[in-house]
């Protein structure tokens, strides 16, 4: 059996741990050969491969990113893409594929499986918004990075009596903001699932100052104000302190808070730092187990499935379960964090 492996979408700490586990178990227990596909679906689409065996996976467990490279290429958006992939897999003698990725990558895997490609999926995203699995690897690392940033920002907030707004990733779901905010002791957490009222946010900021503490706000990049509660400053405009803001939600929020409360505010955008560097122990553990179970699924011929963490068990679920809808923050869990607001 020759198995192709690819990683698609945004990079994520733990990708290399999956690749290592797949290859180690595949070679040692099943005697399989592997083909590494470069840069997500671009690899099978263009037939770009790299050697993948025990020597290539040695020492990669703690490394962030992916040794296979990644891209957001979607073969369904390329004319004749599916036929090209099938032809390349046949030419390379690849019998089965393991696709490691988020909603888009696994969405492609689902459709390819329906068209006869033997594929098994492994879910990944730092955003933790993939359905069917309790957690995705990469999330814990991202939360820890954000939490450490919040811990460090407390000192500047307090010393300078400033509002600190920390913008974290999460276009559609606020999991990183919620978990990092709760772990870091944030005074306000704003997430895409719950549009915020800027007046309420400013009231919480003022209340925090009344207690002689400086507030830290954590905001998901996808958070939005409630309808009709639009913020008055637009990006590029000078705020009350003469700063020109860049235009992300963190910057806009900091401007608006300064404007409305007269308190100095700064925004810190964590950006891709959250996806970089070495995975935490939890993410290495989860990614490794996903890899071990994915190669077992290939061995069992259980294609069209993806690995999912359910409690402490790794289970196989149909790929479609993970790719239909996103897993959004549970309102009850958000309500728990609200106890600490202000």
Options 38-46, 123-131, 250-258, 295-303: segment touching ligand F6P (CB under 6 A): 123-131
Helix, strand or coil for residue 41? Answer: coil
* Residues contacting ligand F6P: total by CB under 6 A: 9
266 belongs to an annotated ligand binding site: yes
Asked whether position 126 contacts ligand F6P by CB under 6 A, the answer is yes
Q: Which of 127, 239, 251, 283 is catalytic?
A: 127
| Residue among 171, 238, 310, 313 that touches ligand F6P (CB under 6 A) | 171
Query: Is residue 128 a contact point for ligand F6P (CB under 6 A)?
Result: no
The tokens 């995203």 sit on which residue? 125
Q: Is 44 in the site for ligand F6P (CB under 6 A)?
A: no
In our burial notation (b when 16+ CB lie closer than 10 A, e otherwise), range 107-135 reads bbbbbbbeeebbbbbbbbbbbbbbbbbeb
- The interface mask with ligand F6P, positions 250-269, x = CB under 6 A, is --------------------
Q: Looking at residues 270 to 289 of the shown chain, list those that interact with ligand F6P (rule: CB under 6 A).
A: 275
Question: End-to-end distance of the chain based on CA atoms, in angstroms?
Answer: 59
Is 146:196 a contact under the CB 8 Å cutoff?
no
Segment 182 to 241, residues that bind ligand F6P, using CB under 6 A: 221
Map the footprint of ligand F6P across residues 303-322, applying CB under 6 A: none
Of 40-48, 76-84, 169-177, 290-298, which part binds ligand F6P (CB under 6 A)?
Answer: 169-177
Neighbours of 269 (CB within 10 A): 18
Contact with ligand F6P (CB under 6 A) among 125, 133, 144, 288:
125
- Tokens (6 digits) for 64: 């962030």
Select from 120, 138, 216, 219 the least CA-distant residue to 178.
219
β-strand 33-37 against 49-52: which pairing, if any?
antiparallel
Stretch that binds ligand F6P, among 54-62, 109-117, 166-174, 227-235 (CB under 6 A): 166-174
Please give the Cα distance from 44 to 335 (Å, whole number): 45
301 is in an annotated binding site: no
Is 127 marked active-site?
A: yes
127 vs 140, beta carbon nearer ligand F6P: 127
Under 8 Å between Cβ of 73 and 39: yes
2-7 and 33-37 strand pairing? parallel
Residue 303 Cβ vs ligand F6P, minimum distance, rounded to whole Å: 25
Query: Do the annotations mark residue 221 as ligand-binding?
Result: yes
Residue with tokens 């008055």: 232
Q: Name which position in 127, 193, 256, 283 contacts ligand F6P (CB under 6 A).
A: 127
Determine whether the annotation assigns residue 273 to a binding site.
Answer: yes
Cross-sheet strand order for the sheet of 313-318: 49-52, 33-37, 2-7, 96-101, 119-123, 305-310, 313-318
**By the 8 A CB rule, do 252 and 229 touch?**
no
Binding interface with ligand F6P (CB under 6 A): 10, 125-127, 169-171, 221, 275
Name the binding residues: 10, 103, 125-127, 162, 169-171, 221, 266, 272-275
What residues are labeled active site? 127
Name the binding residues for Mg(2+): 103
């Amino acid at each position: 059996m020759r198995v192709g492996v690819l990683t698609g979408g945004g990079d994520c700490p733990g990708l290399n741990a999956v690749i290592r586990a797949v290859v180690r178990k595949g070679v040692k227990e099943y005697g399989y050969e592997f083909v590494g596909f470069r840069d997500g679906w671009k690899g099978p689409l263009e037939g770009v491969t790299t050697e993948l065996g025990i020597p290539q996976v040695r020492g990669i467990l703690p490394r962030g990113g992916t040794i296979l490279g990644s891209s957001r290429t979607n073969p369904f958006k390329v004319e004749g893409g599916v036929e090209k992939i099938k032809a390349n897999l046949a030419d390379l003698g690849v019998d089965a594929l393991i696709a490691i990725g988020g909603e888009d990558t696994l969405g492609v895997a689902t459709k390819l499986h329906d068209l006869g490609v033997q594929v098994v999926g492994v879910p990944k995203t730092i955003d933790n918004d993939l359905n069917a699995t309790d957690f995705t690897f990469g999330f814990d690392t991202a939360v820890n990075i954000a939490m450490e940033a919040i811990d460090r920002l407390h000192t500047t907030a307090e010393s300078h009596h400033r509002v600190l707004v920390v913008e974290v990733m999460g276009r559609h779901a606020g999991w990183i903001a919620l978990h990092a905010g709760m772990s870091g002791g944030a005074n306000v957490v704003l997430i895409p699932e719950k549009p915020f009222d800027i007046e309420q946010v400013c009231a919480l900021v003022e209340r925090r100052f009344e207690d002689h503490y400086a507030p830290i706000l954590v905001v998901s990049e996808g958070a939005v104000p409630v309808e009709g509660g639009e913020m008055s400053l637009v990006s590029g405009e000078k705020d009350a302190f003469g700063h020109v803001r860049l235009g992300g939600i963190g910057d806009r929020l900091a401007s608006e808070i300064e404007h409305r409360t007269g308190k100095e505010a700064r925004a810190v955008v964590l950006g891709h730092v959250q996806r970089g560097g070495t995975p935490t122990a939890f993410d290495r553990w989860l990614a490794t187990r996903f890899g071990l179970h994915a190669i077992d699924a290939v061995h069992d011929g259980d294609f069209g499935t993806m690995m999912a963490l359910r409690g402490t068990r790794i289970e196989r679920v149909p790929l479609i379960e993970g790719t239909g809808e996103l897993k959004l923050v549970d309102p009850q869990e958000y309500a728990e964090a609200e106890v600490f607001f202000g």
